Structure 1
Amino acid sequence: MDNEFDYLIIGGGSAGCALAGRLSEDPDTRVCLLEAGGKGDGLLVNVPAGAVAMLAKPVNNWLMETVPQKGLNGRQGFQPRGKCLGGSSAINAMVYIRGHREDYDQWAALGNEGWSYQDVLPYFRLSEGNERLRNDYHGNDGPLSVSDIRTDSPFHDYFLNAARECDIPITDDFNGEEQEGAGVFQVTQKNGERWSSARAYLFPHLNRPNLQVETLAQVQRIIVEDKRAVGVEFKQGNQTRTFRARKEVLLSAGAFQSPQLLMLSGIGDEAELKQHGIPVVHHLPGVGKNLQDHPDFIFGYTTDSPDTFGFSLGGIWRALKAMATYRKTRRGLWTSNFAEAGAFLKTRPELSAPDIQLHMVTALVDDHGRKLHFTQGYSCHVCLLRPRSRGSVQLASANPDDLPLIDPAFLENPQDLEDMVAGYKITRDLMHAPSLKRWIKKDMFTENVNSDDEIRAVIRQRTDTVYHPVGSCKMGTDEAAVVDPQLRVHGIDGLRVIDASIMPTLIGGNTNAPVMMIAEKAVDMIRGQVRAG
């Protein structure tokens, strides 16, 4: 039947595309992928620097916001999320980071058998097609192309030399034996083009007769009969359609919309569902709880250096000239992911793993790029990798068209603020090392910030997300868990959640590569086989 499949996948983002591509490898398995956004192709997506036109605009982007944050002086935070095939991997900064080995060992220690670092490393390798690094930590034949950045920016050397001046070790591989240090990020690009999850896993296989992809398909609810997920109801244009799943429904709508869809389908905390008049299908109080995200502060400077992005006459002229270079060689300014270099550092020497991450950006970033400054500039993010604060995702209403209420609870745990203060000081010292300080024309945000109280104040005034929400359908065996270690929803047959929401704790790094790893591992769980060893 045209509306019946073995697997229905909700969400064509980083996890959903990987699931669709892998599960449809079996010609006897019928797979349907449902995506609320569009095709996720075209110049804005494929040209890396095009991300600047999508991050803060309604182009392939849900443009979500948080509820007012107590820890941020009552400000609402901004939460861009990809809305197209490829999901957030179509609009992100393409940084290929896996996190620290201790993150996954902690997952296993929490009762999630099969999720230790040694368990997940083979799936990272299975996913990865690294162009340069060839060793036991990396894969070279996977669909996700990982390459060195091709901007040829001198700011890489300025940043690394400043790190040396601060006695920070230099690394050429944040995903190898040791994460700590400063280096230039590898990126999910191929030949200078963005390599989203859709380009890696989905687009090469759209001609498979057993794979159906529906875009502009906004899922309304998961259909559950006798405690088993059997189908999905979705809206496409003016039409409401129903597809059935013979085997399983796979929910990959992300850390905000996966819990939202569970609740809209009657799966969640009974009291919250009744507030919105939603019939309770299964009481599962952990849905939408345990939300975690990286709080992030940005230093910003204007500069006379022409080797940065900027809305000055010189900067615009340089960008126009760089178009010819990009067309000919797929190198230069237009290949930039903006966050080109970075570091993983410890705020205290006794820590066993880095607790802050830096992203060095070759542009002046203010309010996620929504506030423009007509000058050349550069920036440095500092984010807290393992915040103690825990937030939530709740329904705004029973209407699927209403975005959920997002509360990451930034800085609500007092220790998070103190750790951010320590990270601020380390980053300030790095920015003021001779190799970088010489390029500062004006300190835009921290010029008169000196005392610890002044640092705390500017952190509360300017901190927001660095786009890594996780944990809202956490994996585990305790009462707060939403899925088991096989990613099956507790109490509901035929339903799994497969995306960043299942992470029980936030990993120490960018979350995109781990989400594709989770999808690769889920494929083996679904099939009952092991491809990676």
Structure 2
Amino acid sequence: MTEAVVDEGRYDYVIVGAGTAGCVLANRLTADGSKRVLLLEAGGSDNYHWVHIPVGYLYCIGNPRTDWMMKTAVEPGLNGRSLIYPRGRILGGCSSVNGMIYMRGQAADYDGWRQMGNVGWAWDDVLPYFIRSEDHHAGKGPLHGAGGEWKVARQRLSWDILEAVQDGAAEFGVMPREDFNDGNNEGSGFFEVNQSGGVRWNAAKAFLRPALGRPNLRLVTQAMTECLVLDGKRVAGVRYRQAGALREARADGEVLLAAGSINSPKILEHSGIGRPDVLRDLGIEVLHESTGVGENLQDHLQIRTVFKVTGATTLNTIANSAFGKARIALQYAFARSGPMSMAPSQFGMFTKSDPALETPDLEYHVQPLSTDRLGAGLHPYPAITVSVCNLRPESSGSVHVRSRSPDEQPEIRLNYLSAPRDRDVAVTAVRQARRIMTAKALERYRPEEILPGPIHETDEALLERIGDIATTIFHPVGTCRMGADDASVVAPDLRVRGLGGLRVIDASIMPRIVSGNTASPVVMIAEKAADMIRNAA
């Protein structure tokens, strides 16, 4: 017996996903009061205190209230380990659970997109969209905006040990940099963050809340999108489940898929859009062949090196006592400062694994703390973590559905370290981190390597150890690749090739991963997409 479908009416635009991109789209498209917009979110409200307290990411990752609770397939390059793969399932999406670091990437990233045939996506084309949203702490200038929705702040605490790392890096030519976001991020500095007054500033606060009072915007939470509705070669609506009922909303204009690099290809495949072999093996009718769906998955793999230090104040020494924890709580309660206002990483460096490279290919996230793994207890001794990741990995993977059930998570295969160059860069990165920690500026702290451990010295031994300790830094992109070629999923206007009425607008459209954190590039993508949609209408 066929299940009854509740008719939820017609809209100009139906947006799937109230994450970073979806919140931007909802704001921009409802600014025209004549356009009716439906915004669907599988998760719930972001009215949860751990979302807004910066250190609360530790309590949002692995929490079904805020996280899709995904895991990767077993990774051969990581010695057979499967990783947790957090994705935000809440208003604001990953901007509600991420590290809050404001980073655009390098001008060369976007110029590279243009060189691949993506007209309109070069650095000079996208910079105005970064600036449009920005409310930068330094005010308006040639490279930054003021008064926009996306707040960019300085961090509200400092650590002597991190300043010593900066001084030490300068001894090896990694010089301080005032602005990581001017198109060339080479150098060292303290990360800017998406916060306001020591509180997380997610996309829901920035873009969605100001639009919720508009009568032409309807938000539906706990709405699990099952598939898109096709009328021939046109996407005409969305079918979703909410409050136990199967519902369908129609789009007279366009359906905008903004579910992220994992869920956007999943929804396409459940709709019969994708690789025929993947769909047929699961008994899903092929309605539109698009061989790139779910392919080209890229991510940044971080290698955590840990150094025990002497005579330095770190979070380990503060938070491992009852007095220290009380002091931390009071600092945040009364001044919105202290460790509870911390982003996961405070200090960063962008360097090259090979001097012959034109732009940095390594990013460091340096933290005044250490653990065995994310979410584990702090070590009982003072220590710092010097994480480093390859910004432009050659390894790529895929994400594909495993069954016909929309409730089952897809198979996520990253294929980390499968490319020979990625293995070489990983070993080089660890050696570079070790070298920086030998700087004269750090001698008084007597750094002692804990991870990966000084006994791992040969390239072979280091690579084996990297397989034990490396983990994702949560930057999946590329699974609905934008391109000018027929194999790309979307064209440069983000329309799905061969279909009418459908665009994909999220990190999945990136043809190549950017050289930095990915949240603010997604804001830019959505800003640019909103302009393209309005111009087309």
Q: Partner of 1:322 in structure 2?
A: 328
Residues 105, 183 of structure 2: 8 Å contact kept: no
Residues 15, 22 of structure 2: 8 Å contact kept: yes
Shift of 1:457: 1.5
Q: Partner of 2:4 in structure 1?
A: none
- More deviation in 65-74 or 99-108? 65-74
Distance 2:336 2:374 in 1: 26
Distance 1:33 1:364 in 2: 40
Distance 1:172 1:439 in 2: 26
Shift of 1:5: 1.3
Distance 1:437 1:242 in 2: 65
Shift of 1:154: 2.6
| Aligned AA (1:174) | F
Distance 2:246 2:477 in 1: 30
| Aligned AA (2:473) | V
Distance 1:314 1:276 in 2: 51
Shift of 1:224: 0.9
Distance 1:93 1:155 in 2: 21
Matched, 1:168 2:180: no
Q: Partner of 2:270 in structure 1?
A: 264
Structure 1: which 5+ residue stretches go unaligned? none
Distance 1:153 1:380 in 2: 14
Q: Cα distance 1:430–1:441, how it changes in 2: closer, same or farther (>3 A)?
A: closer
Shift of 1:476: 0.7
Residue pairs, 1:5-404, within 5 angstroms: 5-132=11-138, 134-303=140-309, 307-310=313-316, 314-370=320-376, 373-404=379-410
- More deviation in 129-138 or 394-403? 129-138
Distance 2:92 2:488 in 1: 27
Distance 1:155 1:42 in 2: 33
Shift of 1:48: 0.6
Shift of 1:529: 7.7
Distance 2:96 2:322 in 1: 24
Shift of 1:438: 4.1
Shift of 1:138: 1.0
| Aligned AA (2:503) | R
| Aligned AA (2:521) | P
Q: Partner of 1:474 in structure 2?
A: 481
| Aligned AA (2:498) | G
What whole-Å deviation, never above 9, does each CA across 1:134-187 have from its counterpart, x for those lacking one?
421111121000011112333331221222232311012100153100100000
Matched, 1:456 2:463: yes
| Aligned AA (1:132) | A
| Aligned AA (1:516) | V
What whole-Å deviation, never above 9, does each CA across 1:247-299 have from its counterpart, x for those lacking one?
11000111111001000000001111111111111011110011111111001
Q: Cα distance 1:315–1:206, how it changes in 2: closer, same or farther (>3 A)?
A: farther
**Residue-pair matches, total:** 530
Q: Cα distance 1:177–1:101, how it changes in 2: closer, same or farther (>3 A)?
A: closer
Distance 2:319 2:110 in 1: 48
Residues 151, 334 of structure 1: 8 Å contact kept: no
| Aligned AA (2:227) | R
> 1:498 pairs with 497, 505, 509, which one?
505
Distance 2:496 2:327 in 1: 53
Q: Cα distance 1:275–1:26, how it changes in 2: closer, same or farther (>3 A)?
A: same
Identity %: 39
Q: 3-state SS of the aligned residue for 1:186?
A: coil
Q: Partner of 2:3 in structure 1?
A: none
Shift of 1:117: 0.4
Shift of 1:316: 4.6
Distance 2:374 2:395 in 1: 22
Matched, 1:432 2:438: yes
- More deviation in 438-447 or 257-266? 438-447
Structure 2: which 5+ residue stretches go unaligned? 1-6
What whole-Å deviation, never above 9, does each CA across 1:327-370 have from its counterpart, x for those lacking one?
22222221100200111101111111100000011221433224
Residues 312, 375 of structure 1: 8 Å contact kept: no
Residues 56, 368 of structure 1: 8 Å contact kept: no
Distance 2:372 2:92 in 1: 26
| Aligned AA (2:182) | G
Q: Cα distance 1:464–1:122, how it changes in 2: closer, same or farther (>3 A)?
A: same
Divergent runs of 4+, >6 A: none
Distance 2:322 2:282 in 1: 50
Q: 3-state SS of the aligned residue for 1:481?
A: coil
- More deviation in 134-143 or 368-377? 368-377
Shift of 1:244: 1.2
- The Cα RMSD (Å) is 1.9
Shift of 1:446: 2.3
- More deviation in 129-138 or 42-51? 129-138
Distance 1:510 1:128 in 2: 16
Q: 3-state SS of the aligned residue for 2:32?
A: coil
Residues 255, 500 of structure 1: 8 Å contact kept: yes
Distance 2:48 2:86 in 1: 19
Residues 132, 148 of structure 1: 8 Å contact kept: no
Distance 1:316 1:438 in 2: 28
Q: Partner of 1:521 in structure 2?
A: 528
Distance 2:406 2:89 in 1: 15
Distance 1:399 1:251 in 2: 19
